Structure 1
Amino acid sequence: MNSATATATPDRRIRPAGHTVLRPGRGSFLVHRRSVLVAAALGVLLLAAVIAYLCVGEAFVSPAEVVNVLLGKPSPDQLVVGTLRLPRLTVGLLAGLAFGIAGALVQTVARNPLASPDIIGVTHGAGAVTVAAMSFGLVSYTALPYVSVAGGIGAALLVYVFAWRRGMQASRFVLIGIGISVALGSLTQLFLTKGDALVAQQAKVWLTGSLNSRGYEQAAPLAVVLLVAVPAVLWAARAQRSASFDDDTATALGIRLNHVRLGLTALGVVLASMATGATGPVDFVALLAPQIARRLTRTAQIPLLSSALTGALVVVIADLLARRLFSPVELPVGVLTAAVGAPYLMWLIARGRSRSGGTK
């Protein structure tokens, strides 16, 4: 999950601008210097946001006491920081990491900045199946993240089947995904009207994407999936370059492009679905994070590490504002991310239309 472009290079003379050659042992790797600096800066900003999140609330806690709690030292603010704020923060951090990586992978496969798990139907599929399980009492709440994965995978398969026509065309992939998203959204509303009224109300709150009452119970399965997925993400960081080729170039190079795209998509779907199960559909994080990371690093491929850190930073800041902006009323974090993401999506669409109009 490195933000560096790590590819073996046997010759010192072959060094693209802005890269540094590392030679651990017999191998040699190209590292994009700006990506490393951006990832480091995002890490510092995320640490500052975490401290601010744990300090700010109805009762302000000093940064020194927050550090004491994080280090396991005795503190009078253990209840506020360690019991009330830290578990919720943990879920937000993990979900933001997962959404950031998932968005980067889906946009890489689709080769379209408009593509993200919440746009092409993955989170809607996870949401529809989860709401059905909640409304009809089919499973326990601890099993909801796994139910979400099943729904996300099912939605992704639908998009893949309908979009496939002797290959995967990016525009068709996105348009069919949007259509399936609309259909799944209608199906979700149907489940809400047919289930128990009280549970349906809880499901509506979940659908807005909220970290309220979230804790280690929701964080644990997401953390396990992220840890297990580390080798796959490392592979994905190298496979992104292959996925950016067109079909003819990939065929000439002997690359099984469809296998690479399928692997990247499957990884993104699982991560997005698990994050949705833990927090609900926090819209537009997976859309925003990869594009912000790419613009900061100025790389050809979306840097996975920077995208993950950006996703976590967006979720943490959005939830902090959701808690305090209209205190004592708490907004769902999904409301804040949608308020930022929706105008950005419209700007992307308008920008794409103006470019296509200028080429005519």
Structure 2
Amino acid sequence: MSAGRTVLPAGYSRLRAGGGTFLLHRRSICVATALSVLLAAAVVAYLCVGESFVAPAEVVRVLLGRPSPDEFVVGTLRMPRLVTGLLVGAAFGAAGALIQTMARNPLASPDVIGVSHGAGAATVAAMTFGITSYTALPYVSVAGGLAAALLVYVFAWRKGLDASRFVLIGIGISVALGSLTQLFLTKGDYLVAQQAKVWLTGTLNGRGYDQAAPLATALLLLTPALLWAARAQRGMSFDDDTATALGIRVGRIRLGLATLGVVLASVATGAAGPVDFVALLAPQIARRLTRTAHTPLLCSALMGALIVVVADLLARKLLSPIELPVGVLTAAVGAPYLMWLIRTRSRTGGTA
């Protein structure tokens, strides 16, 4: 080995691009590639299945922009809902990865720290007072999620942002906001209350480009911050004392990761409602697949998108012609996983 040559960590490769050097985890690249292939297959299957079956070859023709007799069914009826599901799943997956990294706790997610409940309370309140427009409700949801996160932050801050206190206070705020949501449901019109209950489970029914556009814009604008977060996560894999000794500003990074995760979860909730457990499941599955010390951001986003697309496909077909909200399927899988995770942690006393 030549003198002065940097030794790469096991499993990493060096990439030089744009005058900079990046470390790439080889297993993570393989997992991301495999998830992308699975997601592409899920997209084709999603566009094939519905009240009428469309041949995969015709779906591919529509996706490639070629003329097809099924262009209306695929491109107009199914594609907008699919795009919304992809963006919602990716946003929830990335948000879960960021918040779990910040808290160093696999139990932490937007569902736990009050973001989803804040968005739900604000949206149900808006519906109760007559605001039922699909155009306005996403912005109300975002405002509610951000307000809930700010409330948790204010109560959790004590000479710094302590991760454990942040999660515990978030649980308390979630319970309080859940009670407030139920109060609005009992005070509102019956039909509005039924509509709000469906929204609270998380649904892609009736969703389209109007809901996808704000989410896509937010993801595009947040791309530089996500690139920063992907690098900052590596430093958070150390304990606080080690990270501080290495010159890592733990407090600022933790605050940045939490803020970014809250914003992503809020805009995703605004688009499709609080689709529970996606932000909890996706990062943990991605981390187990990649076997990295930190939760991989890209793989978490891809896994989140895959979970939502597959869950919505099953929700549309399991009890056809009745369509279940996608949140029913994700909760059916996520709730047992959460109980298993709590039981495992109580036995081992381990952390993320």
Would you say same fold, with TM above 0.5? Answer: yes
The answer as to 2:170 corresponding to 1:180 is no
Distance 2:157 2:151 in 1: 10
The answer as to 2:89 corresponding to 1:96 is yes
The answer as to 2:326 corresponding to 1:338 is no
Among residues 236, 239, 243, which one is paired with 1:243 in the alignment?
Answer: 236
**Structure 1 gap ranges (5+):** 1-9
The answer as to 2:287 corresponding to 1:284 is no
Among residues 199, 204, 208, which one is paired with 1:206 in the alignment?
Answer: 199
Residue 36 (structure 2) aligns with:
43
Task: Verify the 8 A CA contact 1:208 1:334 in the aligned structure 2.
Answer: yes
Equivalent residues, number: 348
Please give the secondary structure, in 1, of the residue aligned with 2:349.
Answer: helix
Task: Verify the 8 A CA contact 1:103 1:290 in the aligned structure 2.
Answer: yes
Task: Verify the 8 A CA contact 1:54 1:81 in the aligned structure 2.
Answer: yes
Please give the secondary structure, in 1, of the residue aligned with 2:274.
Answer: coil
Distance 1:234 1:27 in 2: 14
What's the CA shift for 1:214?
0.7
Name the amino acid aligned to 2:256: G
Distance 1:67 1:135 in 2: 43
Distance 1:287 1:228 in 2: 24
Give aligned-pair identity as a percent: 77
Name the amino acid aligned to 2:22: F
Task: Verify the 8 A CA contact 1:136 1:196 in the aligned structure 2.
Answer: no
Q: Report Cα offsets for 1:62-97 as digits up to 9, x if no partner.
A: 011111212222211122111111111011000001
Among residues 290, 296, 299, which one is paired with 1:306 in the alignment?
Answer: 299
Distance 2:111 2:264 in 1: 12
The answer as to 2:316 corresponding to 1:323 is yes
Residue 6 (structure 1) aligns with:
none
Distance 1:320 1:11 in 2: 54
Which moves more between the two structures, 282-291 or 149-158?
149-158
Distance 2:321 2:264 in 1: 33
Q: Report Cα offsets for 1:241-288 as digits up to 9, x if no partner.
A: 233444433443443322211111111111111111111110000000
Among residues 74, 77, 81, which one is paired with 2:74 in the alignment?
Answer: 81
Q: Cα distance 1:74–1:350, how it changes in 2: closer, same or farther (>3 A)? A: same
Alignment of 1:123-272 (within 5 A): 123-138=116-131, 140-272=133-265
Task: Verify the 8 A CA contact 2:283 2:295 in the aligned structure 1.
Answer: yes
Task: Verify the 8 A CA contact 2:131 2:137 in the aligned structure 1.
Answer: no
Q: Cα distance 1:252–1:211, how it changes in 2: closer, same or farther (>3 A)? A: same
Task: Verify the 8 A CA contact 1:109 1:244 in the aligned structure 2.
Answer: no
Distance 2:195 2:232 in 1: 40
The answer as to 2:33 corresponding to 1:31 is no
What's the CA shift for 1:11?
5.6
What's the CA shift for 1:138?
4.5
Task: Verify the 8 A CA contact 2:237 2:293 in the aligned structure 1.
Answer: no
Distance 2:23 2:274 in 1: 37
Please give the secondary structure, in 2, of the residue aligned with 1:29.
Answer: strand
Name the amino acid aligned to 2:76: T
Please give the secondary structure, in 2, of the residue aligned with 1:20.
Answer: strand
Task: Verify the 8 A CA contact 1:208 1:282 in the aligned structure 2.
Answer: yes
Q: Report Cα offsets for 1:309-340 as digits up to 9, x if no partner.
A: 00000000000000001111111100000000
Q: Cα distance 1:224–1:81, how it changes in 2: closer, same or farther (>3 A)? A: same
Please give the secondary structure, in 1, of the residue aligned with 2:24.
Answer: strand
Distance 2:239 2:112 in 1: 23
Task: Verify the 8 A CA contact 2:236 2:294 in the aligned structure 1.
Answer: no
Please give the secondary structure, in 1, of the residue aligned with 2:196.
Answer: helix
Please give the secondary structure, in 2, of the residue aligned with 1:23.
Answer: strand
Distance 1:240 1:186 in 2: 35
Task: Verify the 8 A CA contact 1:38 1:306 in the aligned structure 2.
Answer: yes
User: If the length of structure 2 is used for normalisation, what is the TM-score?
Assistant: 0.94
Residue 9 (structure 2) aligns with:
16
Task: Verify the 8 A CA contact 1:51 1:63 in the aligned structure 2.
Answer: yes
Distance 2:213 2:179 in 1: 31
Name the amino acid aligned to 2:38: L
What's the CA shift for 1:139?
7.2
Name the amino acid aligned to 1:63: P
Task: Verify the 8 A CA contact 1:39 1:306 in the aligned structure 2.
Answer: yes
Q: Report Cα offsets for 1:277-304 as digits up to 9, x if no partner.
A: 1111100000000000000000111111
**Structure 2 gap ranges (5+):** none
Name the amino acid aligned to 1:125: G
What's the CA shift for 1:26?
5.0
Residue 118 (structure 1) aligns with:
111
What's the CA shift for 1:147?
1.6
